[in-house]
C-alpha cells in the first residue's frame, strides 16, 4: 500500500520512543509543516477535558488558526492532572517551538492513554532532537506516525484522497486512532484523535467552515459504546504547498474530505474492542434529521439490541422498543424494518413474510445493514455501530487501573 | 415468611395455568377486589406501547379511577400486535367483567413476555372459571400471584408495610416483576409491572397524587441496562376495607408506600440478568436535583464504568469521564469520589491517599456505594444500578426470537 500513497506536500512526519508507553513501542509522534499551516479543530463536548484539549483550544485562538507542529503522545492522556497537567503540556509546546523554530502558540498538543497520572513532560522534551532527525515526507514516515499514536487500536488507521483543482493535484491524508470509549459528540466540538492534512491553500476561516460538516456526517455518526472521551480531537491542517486555492464552498474538496473522514470513522468502528458485528443503520422517514439521529443513537446504545446482534438474533421487538424510547416523534403503526434485504417488521408488527432463517443468515456476516422507515416525515440519518459481546466486557473488566 | 404476612383486606388473589408460558407454569394471575377499589396508575414513557397499556389507560379514564379486577398474563406482552392486540385485550376484559360481575371498564389488564406475537385471548378467557375457583386472601395466594407474573425473574418480589391510623391497622402489600430491560422513565408515566394493594380508604384523586412521588424516588431511580420496556406499569389499588381514611398528605402513609416501592425497586435491581454487583450512587452537590439525576444516569448507563465494576476495578477515570458527558453543569476541579469509605478521587484528580488494594476490596462485595460530591450546588439524588458482565451479554445474546 505504501508504494501507492502520495502524501500532501508541505508536511514531514516522525515517531520516536519517549518511554511513556509501558510496551516500549514508539509513543511520541510529530507532524511538522515546512511553513506555518492553516488549521481548524474540533474537540470533545465532555465537560471534563484533558490538559492538551484546554491548551490546544487556546493555541488556535492565540495563533489565529495557525499550526507549525503537531505533537502527539500516547500512553498518558494528561487528563485529571490539574494545573500541573497544563504546565506539563506547555513545557512540551515551548520546547517544541524552540526545536522547530516557530511560535509556541503554533504547536498543537495531543495526548491519549491513561487518565489521572501526571504527564512525564521531560521525557517528551528530551525526545525532540530525535524527532527532528527522524522527520521525513515518505509514506513510511506517515505510517510510523499512525502507529505511534495507537493505544487500544489493533491496527493503524489512514485514509487518502486526491482531486484536481485547476490542473493541479490536491491531496488529503488522514490518520486516526480510537477503539472503544467512542461516542463522539461534536456540537460544537468533539471526537477521537484524528489528524487531517492537505496541501490545498485554504484560509483558517474556510477550514473552520469546512470541518464541522465532514465531522458531523462521519465521526458524529459512529458509536461503539456510548461513552465520550475526555480527549477527543479532530485537527485539519492545510499547508498550501500545492499552490491551488480552495474555498469553503469547493464541492469536490468537501466531498474528498468527507470521504477521508468517513473512511477513518468506519475504520474506528471496525476496530472496536470485542466487536464481532459492524452495523449500518439507515433511518428514513423521521419527523426531522434530528429525530432520525435520536432513533439511531437509541438503537446504537441499547444493550439489549446489541447483544441480540452479538447472538445473530433477528430480534425486531428490541429494535422497536429502542425506537420507542428514543424520544423521536413516531407512529408505532407505521414502522417498517429491513435486515439486509429481509423485511422483519411491517407496520409496527412482525412482517408477514418474515423468514427467520434468512434473517439470521444476514447476521452471520460481520457487516450488515438495518433500514428503518418511520413513515412520519423525510428526516434521515446514516449511523454506524457495533454489537456488544462478552469479549468487550472481558477486555473492559480487566483489572488494571 | 408467609406466616407473618398480613395482607390488606378487601382483595383476593389467584394464579392458574393458561398454557401461554412455554414452561407450562402458572401464567395468568388475577387480583379481585371484594368491592370496587380506587385506583391510580403510571405507565411507560416508551412511545411504543403494548395493547394492555393503551387499554389500561383508557379503562382508568372511563371508570373514573375504579378497578375491580386486575388480570395479568405472562409469556406474551401483547405488544406490536396492532388492532388485533387491542381486540384481544378487550376480549379478555369483557369476559372477566362477566365472570366477576363488574363493569368492563373496571378490569385492568397487563401483559409481559414476548413482543410481536398475537395474544391467545381465548386461552385466558377459558381460564377465568378456574381463576374464580382459586381465589383466596391468604399469603400463599398472594405468593402464587407473585410467581405467575414472573418471566426472567429468578424469584418472586414482594414487600409489605403497615401503619396505624386512628387506632386501626392499615396495610400495604406490593408485588413486582422485572429483571433486565429495566430503565423506568416515569415522567409522567412509566415502570415495570408493579401492583400495590392497600386497605386504606383513599379516593382515586388522592391515589393519583400519592403515586408519582413514591414512584419517582424508587422505580425512577434504578437502572440495569438503560432500556425502557414497552409494557412498564405501576398500579396502586385501595380497597377501603380497613375503614381508615387516608388523604394524599398523610405523611406516615406516604412513608410506608415509599418503603414498599423502594424495597421492590431494590429487589428488581438485585435480580438483574447476569448481575454480580449492585451499586448505590449517592450524588451530592449538583447544581440541581435534575443535574444530580443526569450524573447518576450517565454513570448507570456507561458500559466502561459498569464493566470496570464487573472486574472489581476501582477506576475513577471512567467515572469522571461519565460525569463529564452527563450534560450536568460541573466543575472538573471540584469533583470528589468515594468508593465505600475509600476516597479515590479528590478535586478532580487521583486522591492523595488513594489505596488501590483497599478500594479493590470494597468492590469484592456484591453491594457497595459510590458517593460523588460535585461541589457546585445542593442538588442530590440516590440511584441504584448494576455492573455489566459477560453473563449479561450471554443471556441476552442467546438466539431465540
The answer to whether residue B399 neighbours chain A at the CB level (below 8 Å) is yes
Domain ranges within chain A, ordered by starting residue: 11-270, 278-397
A278-397: same fold as A11-270? no
The answer to whether residue B322 neighbours chain A at the CB level (below 8 Å) is yes
Q: Do β-strands B342-346 and B336-339 pair in parallel, antiparallel, or remain unpaired?
A: antiparallel
Query: Which of B219-223, B271-275, B305-309 is modeled with the greatest confidence?
Result: B305-309
What pLDDT does B190 receive?
A: 28
Q: What is the pLDDT of residues B341-375, one digit of tens each?
A: 999 999 999 999 999 999 999 999 999 999 999 99
* Range of weakest confidence among A110-119, A124-133, A340-349, A373-382: A110-119
Higher per-residue pLDDT: A323 or B398: A323
Higher per-residue pLDDT: B315 or A372: A372
In the three-class reduction of DSSP (H, G, I as helix; E, B as strand; rest coil), residue B243 is classed as coil
Cell of B93: 376484559
Q: What is the pLDDT of residues B252-269, one digit of tens each?
A: 999 999 999 999 999 988
Contacts of A357 (CB under 8 A, 6+ apart): none
For residues B302 and B306, give the distance between their C-alpha atoms in angstroms, rounded to a whole number: 6
| Chain A residue closest in CA terms to B390 | A390
B interface test, pick of A225, A291, A321 with most B CB neighbours within 10 Å: A321
| Chain B residue closest in CA terms to A349 | B80
Q: Which residues pair with A69 in a beta bridge?
A: A32, A107
Nearest to B121 by CA among B133, B134, B139, B107: B107
For residues B310 and B368, give the distance between their C-alpha atoms in angstroms, rounded to a whole number: 12
B278-397 CATH, one of 3.30.465.10, 3.90.650.10, 3.10.20.340, 3.30.420.40? 3.10.20.340
Nearest to A178 by CA among A208, A215, A151, A144: A151
Q: Was domain B11-270 assigned CATH 3.40.50.2300?
A: no
Cell of A34: 515546512
How large is the angle between the packed helices A289-300 and A316-324, nearest 10 degrees? 130
Q: What is the pLDDT of residues B16-69, one digit of tens each?
A: 999 998 889 999 999 999 999 999 999 888 888 899 999 999 999 999 999 999
DSSP state, B222? Answer: E
What pLDDT does A185 receive?
A: 36
ipTM above 0.85, yes or no: no
Percentage of the residues of chain B whose pLDDT score is greater than 90: 77
For residues B206 and B213, give the distance between their C-alpha atoms in angstroms, rounded to a whole number: 12
Place of cell 372459571: B129
Q: Which residues pair with A332 in a beta bridge?
A: none
Cell of B252: 406516615
Query: Which of A178-192, B216-230, B351-365 is modeled with the greatest confidence?
Result: B351-365
The answer to whether residue B47 neighbours chain A at the CB level (below 8 Å) is yes
Question: Exposure pattern of A342-370 as b/e (b: 16+ CB <10 Å)?
Answer: bbbbbbbbbbeebeeeebbbbbeeeebeb
Q: Do β-strands B379-386 and B222-223 pair in parallel, antiparallel, or remain unpaired?
A: parallel
User: A residues 105-124 near B, CB within 8 Å?
Assistant: 114-117
Instruction: Give the DSSP letter string of A186-225.
Output: -SSS--SEEEEEE-SB--HHHHHHHHHHHHHTTGGGEESS
Does the distance separating the beta carbons of A349 and B229 come in below 8 Å?
A: no
> Helix and strand tally (H, E) in chain B?
11, 15
Contacts of B244 (CB under 8 A, 6+ apart): B165, B166, B168, B170, B200, B201
The answer to whether residue A173 neighbours chain B at the CB level (below 8 Å) is no
What pLDDT does A334 receive?
A: 96
Average pLDDT across chain B, whole number: 91
Average pLDDT across chain A, whole number: 91
Given the residues B191, B198, B230, B386, select the one marked as catalytic.
Answer: B191
Phi and psi, residue B64, nearest 5° = 70, 30
What pLDDT does A153 receive?
A: 84
The answer to whether residue B283 neighbours chain A at the CB level (below 8 Å) is no
Given the residues A44, A93, A191, A389, select the one marked as catalytic.
Answer: A191
What pLDDT does A324 receive?
A: 93
Average pLDDT score over residue span B266-294: 92
DSSP state, B283? Answer: E
Cell of B43: 405507565
Q: With contacts defined as CB-CB under 8 Å, which chain A residues touch B318?
A: 227
In the three-class reduction of DSSP (H, G, I as helix; E, B as strand; rest coil), residue B344 is classed as strand
Is it the case that residue B400 has pLDDT exceeding 80? Answer: no
Q: Is the dihedral of CA B267, B269, B271, B275 positive or negative?
A: negative
Q: What is the pLDDT of residues B142-193, one digit of tens each?
A: 999 999 998 878 889 999 999 999 999 999 999 999 875 444 432 222 238 9
Query: Is A191 annotated as catalytic?
Result: yes
Contacts of A51 (CB under 8 A, 6+ apart): A78, A79, A81, A85, A86, A88, A89, A111, A119
Task: Report the gap between the CA of A98 and the closest CA in chain B (Å).
Answer: 31
| Chain B residue closest in CA terms to A351 | B116
H or E segment to which residue B384 belongs: strand B379-386
DSSP state, A397? Answer: H
Q: What is the pLDDT of residues A304-352, one digit of tens each?
A: 899 999 999 998 988 999 999 999 999 999 999 999 999 999 999 999 9
DSSP state, B204? Answer: H
Contacts of A290 (CB under 8 A, 6+ apart): A379
What pLDDT does A252 receive?
A: 95
Is it the case that residue B116 has pLDDT exceeding 80? Answer: yes
**Band of the pLDDT at A226, cuts 50, 70, 90?**
low
Average pLDDT score over residue span A227-256: 92
The answer to whether residue A54 neighbours chain B at the CB level (below 8 Å) is no
Is it the case that residue A164 has pLDDT exceeding 60? Answer: yes
Q: With contacts defined as CB-CB under 8 Å, which chain A residues touch B87?
A: none
Is it the case that residue A372 has pLDDT exceeding 60? Answer: yes
Q: Are A67 and A249 in contact (CB under 8 A)?
A: no
Place of cell 523554530: A101
Amino acid at each position: 500500500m505504501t508504494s501507492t500513497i502520495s502524501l500532501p506536500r508541505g508536511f514531514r512526519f516522525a515517531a520516536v520512543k519517549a518511554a511513556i508507553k509501558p510496551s516500549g513501542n514508539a509513543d511520541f509522534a510529530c507532524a511538522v509543516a515546512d511553513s506555518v499551516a492553516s488549521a481548524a479543530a474540533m474537540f470533545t463536548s465532555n465537560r471534563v477535558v484533558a490538559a492538551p484539549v484546554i491548551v490546544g483550544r487556546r493555541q488556535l485562538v492565540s495563533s489565529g488558526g495557525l499550526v507549525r507542529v503537531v505533537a502527539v503522545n500516547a500512553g498518558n492522556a494528561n487528563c485529571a492532572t490539574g494545573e500541573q497537567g497544563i504546565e506539563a503540556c506547555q513545557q512540551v509546546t515551548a520546547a517544541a517551538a524552540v526545536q522547530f523554530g516557530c511560535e509556541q502558540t503554533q504547536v498543537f498538543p495531543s495526548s491519549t492513554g491513561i487518565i489521572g497520572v501526571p504527564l512525564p513532560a521531560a521525557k517528551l522534551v528530551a525526545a525532540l532532537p530525535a524527532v527532528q532527525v527522524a522527520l521525513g515526507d515518505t509514506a513510511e514516515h506517515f505510517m510510523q506516525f499512525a502507529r505511534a499514536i495507537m493505544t487500544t487500536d489493533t491496527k493503524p488507521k489512514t485514509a487518502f484522497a486526491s482531486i484536481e483543482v485547476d490542473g493541479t493535484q490536491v491531496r488529503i491524508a488522514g490518520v486516526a486512532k480510537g477503539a472503544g470509549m467512542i461516542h463522539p459528540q461534536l456540537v460544537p466540538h468533539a471526537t477521537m484523535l484524528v489528524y487531517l492534512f492537505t496541501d490545498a491553500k485554504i484560509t483558517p476561516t474556510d477550514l473552520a467552515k469546512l470541518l464541522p460538516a465532514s465531522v458531523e456526517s462521519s465521526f458524529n455518526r459512529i458509536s461503539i459504546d456510548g461513552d465520550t472521551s475526555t480527549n477527543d480531537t479532530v485537527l485539519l491542517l492545510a499547508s498550501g504547498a500545492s499552490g491551488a486555492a480552495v474555498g469553503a464552498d469547493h464541492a469536490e474538496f468537501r466531498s474528498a474530505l468527507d470521504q477521508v473522514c468517513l473512511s477513518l470513522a468506519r475504520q474506528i468502528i471496525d476496530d472496536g474492542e470485542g466487536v464481532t458485528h459492524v452495523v449500518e443503520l439507515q433511518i428514513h422517514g423521521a419527523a426531522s434529521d434530528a429525530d432520525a439521529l435520536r432513533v439511531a443513537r437509541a438503537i446504537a446504545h441499547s444493550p439489549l439490541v446489541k447483544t441480540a446482534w452479538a447472538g445473530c438474533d433477528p430480534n425486531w421487538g428490541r429494535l422497536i422498543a429502542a425506537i420507542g424510547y428514543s424520544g423521536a416523534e413516531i407512529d408505532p403503526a407505521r414502522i417498517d424494518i429491513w435486515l439486509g434485504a429481509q423485511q422483519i417488521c411491517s407496520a409496527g408488527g412482525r412482517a408477514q413474510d418474515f423468514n427467520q432463517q434468512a434473517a439470521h443468515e444476514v447476521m452471520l456476516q460481520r457487516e450488515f445493514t438495518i433500514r428503518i422507515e418511520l413513515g412520519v416525515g423525510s428526516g434521515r440519518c446514516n449511523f454506524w455501530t457495533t454489537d456488544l459481546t462478552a469479549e468487550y466486557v472481558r477486555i473492559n473488566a480487566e483489572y488494571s487501573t
